[in-house]
């Protein structure tokens, strides 16, 4: 298993002070910045686009920016995010007519590629494309909003995807997103996740370093 990565979702940050918020969470021990892009079409919410990603890079953020596109159709916006400084770009198979082509597009733009599985999306969407992926993101809430409760069936899905990744022999990251907290992250790690997105649990806490440290301890204890 690869070293654990903690990726705070800026969906729960104070957008009026986004640069400071990202600096603070990275100084507090976060590894990546998770960047949720919603289009009010694929999901019923509207957030941020490539201009904000570029602004974070210009602000001086050098950590990996992990872009989660909840956008349909997805292909047109991929080059814009690559130019804006995205490190990884993940998308939903339901939002792409040609999943293999979208993966190649992301990689051709110089980014790592991830595929996102909604709570009701079967694991077999990984057939024939797992060998091209750098990351699989298992959603443990329905996409669109922060602050939702963790859906327990995500643990079984993590175990299944972990087996498939291990059988592939490739260093594909297994990311979890939605309702991740210090009190469930140990069980999530034990089920096979190595990359942990958390929004409200981190930005809703007054001491980012404390909550991230508690998450890391729980990952080691549970995983
Ligand atoms: O992708 C998302 C929602 O679509 C968010 O990243 C996710 O829900 C994180 O928020 P929280 O940790 O508060 O559940």
Summarize pLDDT for 166-219 with one digit per residue, the tens: 999 999 999 999 999 999 999 999 999 999 999 999 999 999 999 999 999 999
Which is the catalytic residue, given 39, 66, 134, 177? 177
Query: Which atom of ligand 1 sits closest to the CA of residue 150?
Result: 14
**Which stretches of the chain are DSSP H helices?**
18-27, 50-59, 78-84, 99-108, 154-168, 185-190, 200-203, 208-222
For the question of residue 36 being annotated catalytic, the response is yes
Question: Residue 36: CB partners within 8 Å, gap ≥ 6?
Answer: 9, 10, 11, 47, 48, 68, 70, 146, 199
Q: Would the pLDDT of 135 be above 80? A: yes
CATH of the domain at 83: 3.20.20.70
Pairwise CA distance, residues 118 & 93, whole Å: 9
Q: Would the pLDDT of 80 be above 70? A: yes
Does the annotation flag 204 for ligand binding?
Answer: no
**pTM (predicted TM-score):** 0.98
Pairwise CA distance, residues 204 & 12, whole Å: 7
Q: Cα of 138 to ligand 1 centre, how many Å?
A: 12
Q: Which two tokens stand for residue 162?
A: 């972990």
For the question of residue 177 being annotated catalytic, the response is yes
User: Which among 121, 222, 144, 137 has a CA at the least distance from the CA of 172?
Assistant: 137
Does the annotation flag 145 for ligand binding?
Answer: yes
Computed over every residue of the chain, the mean pLDDT equals: 98
The answer to ipTM > 0.95 is yes
Q: Cα of 21 to ligand 1 centre, how many Å?
A: 17
Domain that holds residue 180: 5-222
pLDDT of residue 223: 58
Residues with CB under 6 A from ligand 1: 9, 11-12, 34, 36, 68, 141, 143-148, 177-180, 197-201
**Which stretches of 60-207 are DSSP H helices?**
78-84, 99-108, 154-168, 185-190, 200-203
Q: What is the DSSP letter of 39?
A: B
Does the annotation flag 81 for ligand binding?
Answer: no
Q: Tally the domains of the chain.
A: 1
Helix axes 18-27, 50-59, angle to 10 degrees: 60
Average pLDDT over residues 50-74: 98
Which is the catalytic residue, given 36, 39, 134, 194? 36
């Amino acid at each position: 298993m690869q070293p654990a990565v903690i990726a705070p979702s800026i969906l729960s940050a104070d957008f009026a002070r986004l640069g400071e918020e990202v600096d603070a969470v990275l100084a507090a021990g976060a590894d990546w910045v998770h960047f949720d892009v919603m289009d009010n079409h694929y999901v019923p919410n509207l957030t941020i686009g490539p201009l904000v990603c570029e602004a974070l890079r210009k602000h001086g953020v050098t950590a990996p920016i992990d872009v989660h596109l909840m956008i349909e159709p997805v292909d047109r916006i991929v080059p814009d995010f690559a130019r804006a400084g995205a490190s990884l770009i993940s998308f939903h198979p339901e939002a792409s007519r040609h999943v293999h082509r979208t993966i190649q597009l992301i990689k051709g733009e110089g980014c790592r590629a991830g595929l996102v599985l909604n709570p009701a999306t079967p694991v077999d969407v990984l057939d024939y494309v797992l060998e091209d992926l750098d990351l699989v993101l298992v959603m443990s809430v329905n996409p669109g909003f922060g602050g939702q409760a963790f859906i327990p069936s995500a643990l079984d899905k993590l175990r299944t995807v972990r087996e498939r990744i291990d059988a592939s022999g490739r260093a594909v990251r297994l990311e979890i997103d939605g309702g991740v907290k210090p009190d469930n992250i140990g069980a999530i790690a034990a089920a096979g996740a190595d990359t942990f997105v958390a929004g409200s649990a981190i930005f809703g806490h007054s001491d980012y370093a404390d909550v991230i440290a508690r998450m890391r301890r729980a990952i080691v204890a549970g995983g």
